[in-house]
Structures are given as structure tokens and as C-alpha cells.
Amino acid sequence: MSASQSVDATAPSGPCLDGRDDDALVARWRELLDRHARTTGALEKVLQERHQLGVSEFEVLERLAGCDREQNRMQALADTVHLSQSALSRLIGRLEADGLVSRSMCSDDRRGIFACLTPAGRERYEAARPTQRQLLAELLND
């Protein structure tokens, strides 16, 4: 379910769960939340200390590094990194101020704006990637 979709509280909720199934479901949900929080917190700390990048900034650089021509439309990028357009615009502004990305107009649609990875952004991403992958391996490999 995307962030733009909502749950209809009046819709039938499917099969009823007994107390044990309900408790197990909630326990799995809380385990997922805890694991996400621990992983994100650890990544945030290490990426910031070693590479002066936050988790969202790293994700943007990684998404751009993986795109053809190392650019992506802002709207598509916002969807893939799970940020609002406003939050992404602020994040891109910080990356732009650091010389890691630039913005350019879409020649086909003047309303469209591309975020583009700069050579400095590519360099910072490539330096941070092994750190991120090592930490993910440590935290997520059970």
C-alpha cells in the first residue's frame, strides 16, 4: 500500500484472528519496527560520522547512481525514497549546496525537474557504499 492510499476503517477486515494469532501478528509487527529503527539509527550514525551523509541522502545518491545518465525526475525520486516532494526538495537543496547533485529542467516537459548526480556526488556515494553494505550485512544477516 502506498503512502497515498488509505485504509477504510469501515471495510470488512477479513478473517477474524483469535487472541494468540492477533498477539503473534502484533509481535511480528513490533519486531519489524524495532529492526527498522535499530538499522536506520545505526546507519544514520555511521554514515554521518564517516561520510557526512544521512540515510535519506545516501538513498538519493544511490538511486541517482543507478539511473541512466545518473539523473531522475524529482517526482519519481520522491516515490522511490519514500519522501514527500517537499522533504525531497529540501534534501536535494542540501545535497546541491554540498556539490553532490544538481538540478536541471526537463527538456520535454518544462514542469519537470531532474536531480542529477555530480562527479563529487558519485565519489561520495562510492566511498559510502561499502560502509552501508557492511553495516547492513552485520545488522540484517541473521
pLDDT tens digits for range 67-78 = 877 778 898 899
Most confident of 74-78, 104-108, 131-135: 131-135
CATH code of residue 84: 1.10.10.10
Residue 93 lies in a domain: yes
Q: Over range 17-30, report the average pLDDT.
A: 86
- Per the prediction, the chain carries an average pLDDT of 87
List the one residue out of 81, 112, 118 whose CA is nearest residue 98. Answer: 118
Q: List the domain range (segments joined by +) for residue 114.
A: 19-140
Name the strands in the sheet holding 101-105, side by side, starting at the edge strand that comes first in the sequence: 71-73, 113-117, 101-105
pLDDT band at 106 (very low <50, low <70, confident <90, very high): confident
Provide the domain count of the chain: 1
Per-residue pLDDT of 54-65, as tens digits, reads 999 999 999 999
pLDDT at residue 20 in the model: 80
